[in-house]
Structure 1
């Protein structure tokens, strides 16, 4: 469907999104909508027409990474061992959440105070990874009742818990391996 917005609105959107990407890269989920507006050279009302909330900004900035994770889930859906496919994808989700400032918050669920605002990033990933979890569940490779939402929550929690560590990527992957292995020693 072609973009029905006026040419100036499309230009404003593109400029605001480019500035938002830089702000989120620099400040993560704390990027200021007002600073985005100033840097983009538009009013805060213009920013809010395109992005009514900080979550909307984070989702727009995260769209490319979420799309890459969606594609990756589809690639892994029929590959080899269902447990390894699911864990490989989830490890990539953790890595993306750690490396892309703001993505973990974009994937986090709201407190439910605004039921009209869906979490588009999580919805895309839940749809894409559903077959991975379903296949792993059929193979008894995951605990019964495990959902994609559960796994995204784990990835988000790991990313948020390690974001201020000196080496957040290594810390996140260590916690991810601990979650996968469990707390009890085997054997």
Structure 2
């Protein structure tokens, strides 16, 4: 059974709510009140609740969109000749985007939480990131003992290091150097 099609005005309102939520969650993370999202979207709180029964469902929709875009970027890097560079560049892209977007950062760092378990299976982010890892390992750029399942934890640690590092020190380099295959 298919979902009912939304009227044109309802589709526009939903898109406005998603855009406002994306901006609000990027700025403030999950702490932003739904009333603030409704205000930014120029709609009433009831309109937000008609499309998203809870703040968590709205947050998931916003994060899912960001994670799907990251998965597409990973997919594009799968065809690059330098598999090691593609892997490490993608790790850096994910970190940069997550650090600019509190919602995405919270979701990527919350590995093992109920939210990440509901959002990530709907995307191919993990699968593409894992493919980038395997290609980099086959090229001799990444240690063989790193498993695709380790990437979520490594990414969460990488984001935490990036946020906590003093501006004049690149502690994240220590983590990426630890991923490289010893020569």
TM-based fold match above 0.5: yes
Which structure 1 residue ranges, 5 or more long, are not aligned?
none
Which structure 2 residue ranges, 5 or more long, are not aligned?
none
Partner of 1:31: 32
Q: TM-score, normalised by structure 2?
A: 0.72
**Is the CA contact 1:21–1:61 (under 8 Å) kept in the aligned structure 2?**
yes
CA shift for structure 1 position 96: 1.0
* 1-structure distance, mates of 2:171, 2:53: 34
**Is the CA contact 2:26–2:100 (under 8 Å) kept in the aligned structure 1?**
no
CA shift for structure 1 position 73: 1.5
CA shift for structure 1 position 97: 0.9
Partner of 2:44: 42
Partner of 1:152: 152
**Is the CA contact 1:16–1:47 (under 8 Å) kept in the aligned structure 2?**
yes
**Is the CA contact 1:97–1:156 (under 8 Å) kept in the aligned structure 2?**
no
CA RMSD of aligned residues (A): 3.6
Partner of 2:133: 133
Structure 1 residues 160, 144: closer, same or farther in 2, change over 3 A? Answer: closer
1:73 aligns with 2:69: no
* 2-structure distance, mates of 1:26, 1:69: 19
CA shift for structure 1 position 3: 7.7
**Is the CA contact 1:19–1:39 (under 8 Å) kept in the aligned structure 2?**
yes
Structure 1 residues 20, 96: closer, same or farther in 2, change over 3 A? Answer: same
* 2-structure distance, mates of 1:128, 1:163: 25
Q: TM-score, normalised by structure 1?
A: 0.71
* 1-structure distance, mates of 2:56, 2:50: 14
